[in-house]
Amino acid sequence: MKSNLIGFSLLLATAGCGSNSSADVDSFIGSLAAQQCDWEFRCCKDAEIKQLDGRKYAAEEDCIPYKTLALEDQLFLERLAAREGRLRVDSTRAGACLAQLTAKACNPMPGTPVQPPSGDPMLMDACINVLIGSTPVGSECVYTDECVDGARCVGDAEAVGRGVCVPYQEETDICNVTADCDPKVKGLYCAPQDFHCHLRARLGEACAYTTDSLGKNPTLPLLLECDNQLGNVYCDPISSTCRQLPSDGEPCLSPPPPGVSSSCDPDPTLALVCDTTGGGTTGVCRAPGKVNEDCSTRACAADLYCDTSTGTSSICRALPDFGAQCSASGGRCKKPYYCNFSKAPEVCDQPASIGEDCTSVTCDTGLTCDANTRLCKSLLPDGSPCVSSTDCLSFSCGFSVGQTTQRTCQPQNTTITVMCSGR
């Protein structure tokens, strides 16, 4: 793998801004394949690699030819276009692409927050547009992407397979449709307000709706659009500016303007709901309550409960710990404890260990209560006689093929979930 990267680095050093050669494309493909294999063998366990690639290879050096073949098949038209001098490898973009792949992290473990990408979130994937067009404006073209930056290949209706490179419209140029505006300029579109290419508006910038036949009520389509790349932004019809959807404690959008489906910011990590219990005309966006916050108008966070025992207020409280009463929490306790309803009053109790009586106590995690002895025992392995699924390590108790009298613990589904989160 390293030799491929060194070879491509030398190619970059000698090629300058790139050259029209299928050999350059093949060299880039080889480096790309090596980087893909490097990531796979760095991040995926052996069983996951077998699941992904059908047991084609077990070593990183054996992976590279297969990845190379797949990329060659995927880019066969681009290789031909490069040989014809219509496409070339952009050395700067190719180097950035390989550097991005070298730094690519393994997938996060389930339940782990996804880390935002470092750097400017508005920057595009470095591996996009590594192969760029060489055909100048006004020249004949055959392939979709062979024209130089700022131009596109427009087909000739009179001659199949032939076209001409036509320049895109830039910002402030006139346009008929968004396809006329340069797609490589992020956020550029054809605005119906004046049919010129505009950049979508950011927070605080002007936006505009179409109005109904009376000229009063806003309706779609938007004449000037907002840029939603950096958050849930909408066009406020009152101020005619782009604004952020309401967050915790802010008035709900009531009703939401045309094209907006949520009264509060729909970001799932915020878990906002529109609370209308206060008697206002719009309601207020509410996030789950934290410790000691009021829960009369909102739910509490998952590890809390809403305490209504005082009768005068509702407050989010921490779940009760060992020995504490648990009636007010609705029978919920801080893990690993459970609410023992056989005691009066109910208290958070320690689960029973293996061999301990479970007549009135819940068994600990990984154990089950034996129906005959009423003692906690270990969960049963596959093939063991069982009464219910709670007896089994696999949590699956059933009849095997050809068996109708005795249920046994059945194997879990052995299908491997490919996560590639590290070896």
Listed in order, strand segments (DSSP E) in 168-314 are: 188-191, 196-199, 208-211, 218-224, 233-236, 241-244, 273-275, 284-286, 304-307
Q: Considering 223, 244, 265, which residue would you say is the last residue of a domain?
A: 244
Q: What is the mean pLDDT of residues 367-383?
A: 86
Indicate the number of domains in the chain. 2
Residue 128 shares a structural domain with residue 209: no
Q: What is the mean pLDDT of residues 36-44?
A: 94
Residue 128 shares a structural domain with residue 212: no
Task: List Cβ neighbours of 351 (8 Å cut-off, separation of 6 or more).
Answer: 336, 337, 338, 361, 362, 363, 364, 365, 367
> Is 235 part of any domain?
yes
Q: Where are the alpha helices (DSSP H) in 265-415?
A: none
> Is 225 part of any domain?
yes
Residue 288: asked if its preceding bond is cis (omega within 30°), the reply is: no
> Is 139 part of any domain?
no
- Angle formed at CA 296 by CA 293 and CA 300, multiple of 5 degrees: 55
> Is 385 part of any domain?
no
Indicate if the alpha-carbon torsion angle 104, 105, 108, 109 is positive or negative: positive
Spatial separation of the C-alpha atoms in residues 21 and 273, rounded to whole Å: 57
Residue 207 shares a structural domain with residue 128: no
Q: What is the mean pLDDT of residues 378-387?
A: 86
Residue 130 shares a structural domain with residue 15: yes
Containing structural domain, residue 88:
2-107+124-134
> Is 331 part of any domain?
no
> Is 38 part of any domain?
yes
Spatial separation of the C-alpha atoms in residues 66 and 180, rounded to whole Å: 39
Identity of residue 231: G
Residue 216 shares a structural domain with residue 129: no
Spatial separation of the C-alpha atoms in residues 90 and 348, rounded to whole Å: 66
> Is 387 part of any domain?
no
CA distances for 19 relative to 16, 25, 81, 131, angstroms? 8, 10, 12, 10
Residue 9 shares a structural domain with residue 93: yes
Which two structure tokens, joined as six digits, stand for 140? 């004949």
Going by the DSSP 8-state scheme, the letter that residue 390 receives in this structure is: G
Please state which of the ranges 130-139, 144-153, 158-167, 239-248 shows the lowest mean pLDDT: 158-167
Which two structure tokens, joined as six digits, stand for 297? 């108008």
- What is the model's pLDDT at position 415? 64
Residue 212 shares a structural domain with residue 128: no
Residue 15 shares a structural domain with residue 103: yes
Q: Considering 211, 244, 277, which residue would you say is the last residue of a domain?
A: 244
pLDDT in tens, 224-250: 999 987 678 999 999 999 999 999 989
Helix (H) or strand (E) holding 409: strand 408-409
> Which of 58-72, 99-113, 290-304, 334-348 is the most confident on average?
58-72
Spatial separation of the C-alpha atoms in residues 140 and 149, rounded to whole Å: 15
Spatial separation of the C-alpha atoms in residues 352 and 342, rounded to whole Å: 14
